[in-house]
Structure 1
Amino acid sequence: MHQGTYMFLRPFVVVVVAVTATLLTNSLLAVESRKANAKPNVLFIAIDDMNDWTGFLGGHPQAMTPNLDRLAKRGVNFTNAHCIAPACSPCRLGLLYGVQPFHSGLYPFYDHGKIPKAVLGKYTSLPKHFRNNGYHAYGAGKIFHGSKAMPDDWDDYLKQSGVKLNYASELGYQQGKSAKMAFCPTTNELADHPDHQVASYGIDVLSREHDQPFFLAVGIVKPHLAFVCPQQFFDALPEKITPPLIRRNDLVDVPFAARAMANLNDDYRFRTDEAWENVHRSYLACIAWADFNIGRVLDALDASPYADNTVVVLWSDHGYHQGEKRSFRKFSLWEESTRVPFVIFDPRIHSGAANRECKEAVSLIHVYPTLCELAGLQSPDYVDGTSLVAQLRDPGAPLVEPAITTWGRGNYSVRDERFRFTRYFDESTELYDHEVDPNEWNNLTDDASLAKVKSELAGHIPGEEAPLVREGIALWNVIDADRPERLKSFEQKDWPAWLEKIRPRLE
């Protein structure tokens, strides 16, 4: 270009550059402004049957949960969190509809689709509430009990392939031909497993461009029975598995209602078959497998454009006994059954690895109002619980109410920062001081010096209970105020003879 031509265009070029720079600056400011005012996305991770055997809760020294641990370090780790009910169905119904069982009447297990409309019509599920307020709702795996989606709750829900898993029972333990009572590796490819498919769906959703905020629910099934997963997660464990601490004759100071909840048959069978170590190994392997798949989703979030504006909430529906209190599975109002992993990470509040721990007793009933507040949504008027946003900002902030766990009408356990008080439908009670007795070995309910503690905690037990919703019940496996005859039968046993018969199970 000739110099004269350049000199002629120079003022024009300067103007264009200046205008372009101004437009670019304004555009960037507008983008930042939209980001600042945008509703956050939600990554909602539900885990089935995981107790405190994780690194970040310290429940077992050989737990392998690096991905859960790093999430707990980034957000707030609620170290004293407890389930709404120690069973999949009532806990998930309570959390996802935001209502306590003693308010809804949904105490046992239900076929979700058969619960009367007169009952569920009063409530709005958490994904549906977000969907009604401008969110796209995506789901996969076990969110409600079972993997069937309620169509009105979701924009899209993963339909899994249903590939049959092959068990290498010779490398572990299996009770007869029971597919459920298997504790061993699988021989399938990773992608054949349901949790791998669920995590892959979550990764796919995070890879898409979204023109609306999203609520993405990822339901991980393991470590639910059967305790089976790929061989590599068994191989990563040490040769010898450390058993949990168990006290002989642990049930002698608990009431009959509590004893009835302990399934002594499982414990007796495992010890007779010398299988407990296989059971513990398989549970730890399945926890590591769950952690692996959760890590895949968390990595995808970190690599996505949504990392700075996505709230992550991770929870398990209840704990799980591994021989403590002579119990296996859940279905009790003791610590190993009610305590759960629970982490919330909001990148708008938290930055850096700070190891924030909230030691206050919290219930999963608080999830619904917490997510609503974080998203700037109004919770439905009926919703139980309290927002935990104050604890997310300051983990030392006190909570007014302790955590309440319900297992059948009339059976309640109240947990605060130090004590657990449990009252059964027949008025029998338990009291444990976790400051000196974290294993709940000594029932202090008759200790006169703790009468005031008992009275204060008992004051949180609901005075009015919703009647049991009977339509739609799928499984009712608890002795409670609606099945008192089962306890009467239990109490009328010839206890000296019975105890002598089962003494090997108790020792």
Structure 2
Amino acid sequence: MRAALTGTFALALCGCAAASAPPSSIPVAPAPKVVAGAPDGGWRGYNVLLIALDDLNTDITAYGGNALTPNIDRLAASGTRFDQAYSVVPACNPSRTALLTGQRPETNGQYLNEGDFREKPGGESRITLPQFLRGKGYEAVAAGKIFHKPRGRSGEADPVSDPQSWDNQGKVATGTGGMEDYLDKDGWAKWLDGAGEYEGVPISEYIRKFGIWGPISQKAEETGDFQTARYCADYLSQRHDQPFFLACGLSRPHSPQLAPQEFFDLYPEAQVPYPDTRADDMVDVPKFAQKNWSTSFTRKLRSQPDEWRRAIRGYYASTSFADAAVGKILDSLERSGRAKDTIVVLLGDHGFQVGQKDRWEKFTLWDLGGHTTLVMRLPGESGVVGKPVSFLDLYPTLVSALGFERPGFVEGNDMMSLLRAPASAWDQPVVTTYQQGNNGVRWRNWNYIRYRDGSEELYDLSADPHEYTNLLAKDGARYDALRASLRAHIPAVTNPQQGYKPLG
């Protein structure tokens, strides 16, 4: 067992250190430049392998964290690890839609988990990354959850899997079985003992059902996620007469946190650490953001410390289970002889909170809501990037890496300069959205949040990594210039058929 797993409950007794004087302004991102092509004048000849894990945060060994991820570790060691990578939206459907369309929700119209971006204004004409590559001669294949829904195992493909993006989608299962062992006769989590509310506040039906964790009797090879991994591994082992874009979507560590026993055995329960938290954490948070649908569930969970520890253990075990599936895919790539000709991108679709700031799961503009894993391996490039980047940047970066001309509809920045030289200059703000009109701007060490009711938060993550002190509640006037500069990057709510336009 790693030493990092011997931590105990951390209760901060004081606020963060005084922040240094803020700068008065930040540079405005330049207009995207069109890439004319590869330096040699044409296509570079790389395949692309995209591996997406659902709800994966950065509390993994590849980032110095607790969840054991030896396969992600080895990929990171041979590629580029982005230490400050953020989803465009801290929710599954809009995060994946933004990544794969190269457009913000203010442009593509997909703000929520519900719905299909194709049904939004202009949706049918949007060209996703796999569609773009198909137009360049690639075969685009998916298995598991890449868009918000997997294809499904029979009949017509689920429309939210966006079948028009793919030449083929694997008819595979995802996740695991075993939920029934952790639900009571009414279909709610047994550990809740029938409670439908906490402190007089209802617990949402979704989390009453899916807020469960524990080992399952299924063997790893019998699970849906391993079916997905096996499909992708088999595809990589085959001969291909054209370049490919292979997308592999694993559903863990998303709730429910279920995995075979062997992955729970990696984490002796008594050694699983509680996250850093503080009893008065929410006192300086605007009323608008003090609670969400998971707050009563989280407070109920934290009132039972042993159960809370089991929940965190479940998240770690689910992460290690997903990592083992990643290993099957990477092993097949290595055996195929194509590793030197394949760009590998591994990511979580957003962050995950395990009790911090009265939240379980994601759906917040705090750092933990959007901060996630991103590793990219381009042949010949490796290192660690410490500057904030956005998943909006992945579409233009892959287009550039492959040597194609950047399409004009794509938003975001080309990260090739960081991949070639991780310490190179990069000073672009990362803008996140959670539901229409709520935005965060992550720039350097700052996280600025503005909600649609006009309330605001500002955190200096260098001095206050857990975001305990909202600087605008403590001494707002001191940060007026910085706040105005950051606010200028918040997107206007526009007609989705129009492009992204920041507020002035």
TM-score, structure 2 normalization: 0.80
Contact 2:139 2:243 survives alignment (8 Å): yes
**Which secondary structure does the structure 1 equivalent of 2:52 belong to?**
strand
Tell me the residue number matched to 1:307: 339
Alpha-carbon shift at residue 427 of structure 1 (Å): 1.2
- In structure 2, the CA distance between the partners of 1:162 and 1:107, relative to structure 1 (3 Å rule), is closer
Alpha-carbon shift at residue 160 of structure 1 (Å): 1.6
Distance 2:193 2:216 in 1: 17
Give deviations 1:23-70, integer Å, cap 9, x for gaps: xxxxxxxxxxx9x96520000111110111111223x3x310111111
Query: 463, 473, 494: which is aligned to 1:466?
Result: 494
Distance 1:41 1:438 in 2: 38
Distance 2:139 2:244 in 1: 5
Tell me the residue number matched to 2:57: 51
Structure 1 unmatched runs, 5+: 1-33, 470-507
- In structure 2, the CA distance between the partners of 1:467 and 1:309, relative to structure 1 (3 Å rule), is same
Alpha-carbon shift at residue 191 of structure 1 (Å): 2.5
Q: Which amino acid aligns with 1:423?
A: R
Structure 2 unmatched runs, 5+: 1-39, 152-160, 184-188, 195-207, 498-504
Query: 409, 414, 434: which is aligned to 2:441?
Result: 414
Give deviations 1:326-378, integer Å, cap 9, x for gaps: 2111111101111010111101x32xxx6x21111101000100111111222
Query: 455, 462, 466: which is aligned to 1:439?
Result: 466
Query: 67, 71, 74: which is aligned to 2:75?
Result: 71
Contact 2:450 2:456 survives alignment (8 Å): yes
Contact 1:165 1:192 survives alignment (8 Å): no
Distance 1:144 1:368 in 2: 15
Alpha-carbon shift at residue 409 of structure 1 (Å): 1.5
Tell me the residue number matched to 2:139: 136
Tell me the residue number matched to 1:342: 374
Tell me the residue number matched to 1:484: none
Alpha-carbon shift at residue 156 of structure 1 (Å): 1.3
Correspondence 1:155 to 2:155: no
Q: Which amino acid aligns with 2:166?
A: W
Distance 1:136 1:450 in 2: 50
**Map 1:23-38 → 2, pairs under 5 A:** 38=44
**Which secondary structure does the structure 2 equivalent of 1:422 belong to?**
strand
Tell me the residue number matched to 1:126: 129
Aligned residues: 425
TM-score, structure 1 normalization: 0.80
- In structure 2, the CA distance between the partners of 1:410 and 1:161, relative to structure 1 (3 Å rule), is closer
Alpha-carbon shift at residue 315 of structure 1 (Å): 1.2
Distance 1:39 1:366 in 2: 21
Distance 2:51 2:174 in 1: 21
Contact 1:174 1:183 survives alignment (8 Å): no
Alpha-carbon shift at residue 262 of structure 1 (Å): 6.8
Distance 1:166 1:125 in 2: 35
Correspondence 1:40 to 2:46: yes
Alpha-carbon shift at residue 468 of structure 1 (Å): 7.5
Q: Which amino acid aligns with 1:90?
A: P
Distance 1:227 1:239 in 2: 15
Greater fraction helix? 1
Contact 1:138 1:215 survives alignment (8 Å): yes
Q: Which amino acid aligns with 1:251?
A: M
Give deviations 1:213-260, integer Å, cap 9, x for gaps: 000000011000110011100011133211100011110001012113
Alpha-carbon shift at residue 166 of structure 1 (Å): 2.6
Query: 422, 429, 453: which is aligned to 1:402?
Result: 429
**Which secondary structure does the structure 2 equivalent of 1:138 belong to?**
strand
Contact 1:99 1:384 survives alignment (8 Å): yes
Q: Which amino acid aligns with 1:239?
A: E
Distance 1:80 1:288 in 2: 21
- In structure 2, the CA distance between the partners of 1:448 and 1:164, relative to structure 1 (3 Å rule), is closer
Contact 1:312 1:346 survives alignment (8 Å): yes
**Map 1:332-371 → 2, pairs under 5 A:** 332-347=364-379, 349-350=380-381, 356-371=383-398
Contact 2:176 2:225 survives alignment (8 Å): no
Give deviations 1:148-191, integer Å, cap 9, x for gaps: 33232111111125797235549x97546965222011101223
Q: Which amino acid aligns with 2:48?
A: V
Contact 1:81 1:339 survives alignment (8 Å): yes
Contact 1:163 1:192 survives alignment (8 Å): no
Give deviations 1:98-130, integer Å, cap 9, x for gaps: 1001122221123328624x4212310111111
Correspondence 1:256 to 2:271: no
Alpha-carbon shift at residue 453 of structure 1 (Å): 2.1
Tell me the residue number matched to 1:185: 215
**Which secondary structure does the structure 1 equivalent of 2:228 belong to?**
helix
**Which secondary structure does the structure 2 equivalent of 1:261 belong to?**
coil
Contact 2:174 2:228 survives alignment (8 Å): no
Which sits farther off after the overlay, 155-164 or 213-222?
A: 155-164
Distance 1:176 1:115 in 2: 41
Alpha-carbon shift at residue 147 of structure 1 (Å): 0.7
Distance 1:37 1:131 in 2: 14
Task: Give 1 or 2 for the bigger CA radius of gyration.
Answer: 1
Alpha-carbon shift at residue 286 of structure 1 (Å): 0.3
- In structure 2, the CA distance between the partners of 1:184 and 1:163, relative to structure 1 (3 Å rule), is closer
Give deviations 1:191-212, integer Å, cap 9, x for gaps: 3211101110110011000110
Contact 1:175 1:181 survives alignment (8 Å): no
Alpha-carbon shift at residue 94 of structure 1 (Å): 0.7
Correspondence 1:271 to 2:299: no
Alpha-carbon shift at residue 263 of structure 1 (Å): 2.9
Q: Which amino acid aligns with 1:236?
A: L
Correspondence 1:457 to 2:463: no
**Which secondary structure does the structure 1 equivalent of 2:122 belong to?**
helix
Give deviations 1:359-404, integer Å, cap 9, x for gaps: 1110100010011111122232111101111100011122342111
Q: Which amino acid aligns with 1:292?
A: A
Query: 175, 194, 197: which is aligned to 2:227?
Result: 197
Query: 277, 281, 299: which is aligned to 1:246?
Result: 277
**Which secondary structure does the structure 1 equivalent of 2:292 belong to?**
coil
**Which secondary structure does the structure 2 equivalent of 1:221 belong to?**
strand
Tell me the residue number matched to 2:94: 90
Contact 1:87 1:318 survives alignment (8 Å): yes
Alpha-carbon shift at residue 458 of structure 1 (Å): 1.4
Q: Which amino acid aligns with 1:140?
A: A
Contact 2:83 2:373 survives alignment (8 Å): yes
Correspondence 1:115 to 2:138: no
- In structure 2, the CA distance between the partners of 1:221 and 1:162, relative to structure 1 (3 Å rule), is closer
Q: CA RMSD in A?
A: 2.3
Distance 1:56 1:416 in 2: 23
Q: Which amino acid aligns with 2:430?
A: A
Tell me the residue number matched to 2:9: none
Contact 2:364 2:434 survives alignment (8 Å): yes
Distance 1:375 1:342 in 2: 19
